[in-house]
Chains A and B, each alone.
Chain A
């Protein structure tokens, strides 16, 4: 089937009116005075003002202009369009929550084909693509997918609403309709820092019953190369239900971050759940009541386990658990220091993760508003053939005209 990449070029077909007029409208006739016209000349007869002449030459000229117009319109041969497909795309490293998993299973049950949102779009049954940044060119991948799939296809992307992962203008896809299903977060690998890492000052305030928790937290802070100080800290870690010293509270109000665990007041609720603060899903043995604020992470039951609230210019990350092996296996896993690293280190990923709420509604590419500027896979461009045909027709027309002129000169 022939498609026109630049249909506006077909307006050039209007130029056909020129040769049609030239060959249709009669030119002034050559007058030949004769002694007499052989009988029966009949009554004096005039030719009509219009009369087709030089039909072959007209055909050549029209063909030439049509070929030029077609070349400008950039035709391409496309194979017959297959049936639309339905995909679900999973962002590698995305932290699943209960509703996302439910939606994922629902899409799969509806016949959607599951793939990773990564180069080559491997099936989910295959190994998860390595590296948390693999999907960072999300829009570029979706553009590529838009060029591959038939028109009318649909895709549901399960991934975090992480603004830093979306670079460039928001794409407008022609054939693919994308729905974005947000997951809680994504496990990110720390960005490579070629130079010396900046110091992060952290003040830790722990209740007396959190000595065990404090041990794990300090180990994580040590791994994150942070320095513990009570003077102008960048972060304040509050373990247990206690009151912050005024200087630290003022510091939080001024813009420092505060990380709190569940607090003593919260009752420990037995739970056989999981949650995914990093690359792996971890067991959650106990948890507190769901904290208030904007949810950043949910457990496998869908209840918030990490929220964010604002306090003055600062922000508070409120966990619904304790950093204790009795509550979760997290402090014993490598994901624990990795999370602290990702949160404490002022980097683009961490900053962007906190701004996710603002960017989330715009992550899904725009619906098809026009035709794609990218040819589909298997399309064969025909413009060169049109140019070639135009050149051949031009030569033929010139040769024809030259022959006519030579005959007329005889």
Chain B
């Protein structure tokens, strides 16, 4: 993966960049919600409101001048700016090259657009954002803290990424990369109060690599949004006749009469997705299934709206 920030002379890449930026903005256009609430009540210089004193409030937060005028205890409140460090983890393994019979593009194109959109959104909110591309047996990280126009940097990196290989065999590789960007981001400025990890993947884990990589995040109580791309042909299985199915990532194949095994495969796929949701859909782990061939923005906006309503 090339270094971020390098200006690419390739016109095709420039066109791809432009298209990706446009797609990313379209995805988040009209989204009234961001990735997280930007302010929370607290004490700061910027006045927000007065609130009546309640037992338990710190006495030092009482506005004594107001007490002198009104002879009642009030607390002076102000909104505190909150910044959430966003880690975008994009599955760039070979399985993301999946493309349904009627699909316009590979799954990775959808993942790229989603990551770009979220990066754009984070940039808008002023949140530090880092990108982690997982593929070819390694995690390649790009921290944008302290950079100008981090969204553009992320766009360029995403535009050049090509899905290949598998998840790293080391289950701690992702955690290490996240910790490193967390450490680098500590010097990026004050106000970063939380971390949000967004994992964009197809969920393909021949040996449980994704489960092993995400488990430490649960232990560390990271807030994780898991955007799982499920193609339409994976839920409808439109294939007919004798077909040789080959996995992009492992080369594993299955020769079968597609019509005869359709029901069995659909049941297995549905059971697998249900098991995934049971395991990864909880208080701090939210799993959202998105159709890469459908309206991505709808799913993305619904997800953001739910988060803001919490």
| A residues lining the B interface (CB < 8 Å) | 26-27, 29-42, 44-47, 51, 53
Contacts and interface: CB of A to CB of B under 8 A. Distances in A.
A36 B242 contact: no
Contacts of B172: none
Nearest to B265: A38
B96 interface: yes
Nearest to A42: B254
A29 B246 CA distance: 12
A46 B247 contact: no
A35 B272 contact: no
Nearest to B230: A35
B241 interface: yes
B140 interface: no
Given A30-B241, A44-B254, A45-B256, A39 B268 contact: yes
Contacts of A30: 241-244
A32 B204 contact: no
A30, A37, A42, A51 — most chain B CB neighbours (10 Å): A37
Chain A interface helix/strand/loop/mixed? loop
10 contacts: A32-B246, A33-B98, A33-B247, A34-B248, A35-B96, A35-B234, A36-B206, A38-B234, A38-B265, A41-B252
Interface size class of B (residues with CB under 8 A): 20 to 34
B95 interface: yes
Given A33-B97, A35-B202, A27 B242 contact: yes
A47 B256 contact: yes
A37 B272 CA distance: 11
Contacts of A29: 242-244, 255
A39 B245 CA distance: 13
Contacts of A38: 234, 265-266, 268-269, 272
Contacts of B83: none
B152 to A, nearest CB: 30
B240 to A, nearest CB: 8
Given A45-B255, A47-B256, A36 B243 contact: no
A208 to B, nearest CB: 116
Chain B interface helix/strand/loop/mixed? mixed
A361 B202 CA distance: 99
Given A29-B243, A47-B242, A35 B95 contact: yes
Contact of A37 (B97, B254, B266): B254
A34 B106 CA distance: 10
A46 B101 CA distance: 22
Contact of A36 (B204, B241, B244): B204
A42 B249 CA distance: 16
A35 B244 contact: no
B244 A51 contact: no
A42 B248 CA distance: 16
A281 to B, nearest CB: 90
B74 to A, nearest CB: 60
Nearest to B202: A35
Contacts of A44: 252-254
B61 interface: no
Contacts of B97: 33, 35
B202 A31 contact: no
Interface string B249-276: 1001111110000000110110010000
Contact of B98 (A34, A42, A46): A34
B107 to A, nearest CB: 6
A37 B251 CA distance: 11
Given A41-B252, A41-B254, A47-B256, A35 B231 contact: yes
A318 to B, nearest CB: 96
Given A37-B245, A37-B247, A32 B239 contact: yes
A26 B256 CA distance: 12
